Amino acid sequence: MSTVTPADFEKEIKSAVLKNIYYIYGKDSGRVSSLSELVRRKYLGKNYTASDYSRIDGKSFSVSEFCDTAEVYPMFTDYNFIEVNDLNAEELNAEEMKLLMKTIDAIPEQTVILVSITGFDVKAGKKTPGAKNKKIIDAAAKYGTVTEADLRKPSEMYRMIMELASSFGSSINRQNAEKLAALCLGDTLRVENEIHKLSSFAYGEEITETMIDEMVSAGIDTTAFALAAAVTSFNAPLALKILDDLFMQRAEGVMIISALSSAFIDLYRAGTAMSAGVRENDVAAHFGYKGREFVVRNAFRDAKRTNIKHLRKCLAILEEADLSCKSTRLDQRTLIEKSIVQMLASGSRE
């Protein structure tokens, strides 16, 4: 079976090895897109146009039409290249799955199929993909190549960021490149957008830490974890200031609660793991933190400031806040501020 890392995938695409099917997915949608572009260029050439291949939207996917397209013999190109973006096999019925698998099991020699997933999480937040998507992935690995583009650590992205800055006519040192990667949570697409903006501002000069601080907003997930850390350290002024910053960024109340809940789940996992003598690496491996190990590391650090009982209460308060935001017309900011105060108070009583 050919399931490879993104780095090995790039090496394979640059080699003379030819495959009939590729399946690319992962949390780093920007990298999924860039890897997909490498596949297109390999089979269609650098100067390909939209008319040189068939692109199918998974949201309006017709299995019968796809199977018919796979049988077409190319007239003006070397390959009958088909890209299916955001194919969610979980939405197909048994007959459709049977027909799709039959086509994948017998892909014509002249046909190349690229399945790229950029619009949804194949794993749906779990360790493995759903049964039907996994069936497609396993078949793709059997007859072609599969790769999962997970979010990368800052230490794995700094070279790419430095090269990207150079291509835009500016420069950035390693420390600031890693800082930018951390702020963007390892998301390639966001990194590319930010470095383009920063390079334009630097206008041929070096991108400095000050520029990053002033021009790059931390993602809501990063800010939510900082808010959770402020709550667990019982720093009320800082917690309310961070919340104020989130609303200044026009973040929706439901999204803030969702991100904050996710941060507290990370903290709760870390707290229970420490009480059971489980190591950071084991938590990262068992709960799908690949490429985001720094989240576990930070959670282990911050969970030491409080206890399991407090974290459990915080999750209960956030659940109630989520229900209130979705079911009442009360001001969302007031609801969340009340929840923050309740979480701080519940910890002080422990």
* pLDDT beyond 70 at 1: no
Question: Which among 64, 118, 119, 61 is positioned nearest to 89, based on CA atoms?
Answer: 61
Mean pLDDT of the chain: 89
pLDDT band, residue 291 (cuts 50/70/90): low
Q: What is the pLDDT of residue 27?
A: 85
Say if residue 218's pLDDT is above 70. Answer: no
Which residues face 206 on adjacent strands? 171
- Stretch 261-289: mean pLDDT: 90
Average pLDDT over residues 298-324: 90
pLDDT tens-digit map of 110-148: 999 999 998 888 987 778 899 999 999 999 999 999 999
The pLDDT tens digits for 154-210 are 888 999 999 999 999 999 999 999 889 888 877 888 888 889 989 999 989 999 999
Q: Note the pLDDT of residue 83.
A: 96
DSSP letters of 255-317? Answer: HHHHHHHHHHHHHHHHHHHHHTT--HHHHHHHTT-TT-HHHHHHHHHHHTTS-HHHHHHHHHH
> What's the whole-number mean pLDDT along residues 228-234?
87
Model confidence at 331, pLDDT cuts 50, 70, 90, reads confident
pLDDT at residue 287 greater than cutoff 60: yes
In order of their start, the domains of the chain are 3-148 (3.40.50.300), 154-215 (1.10.8.60), 220-348 (1.20.272.10)
| pLDDT recorded at residue 133 | 96
pLDDT digits (tens, 9 = 90+) for 54-74: 999 998 899 999 999 999 998
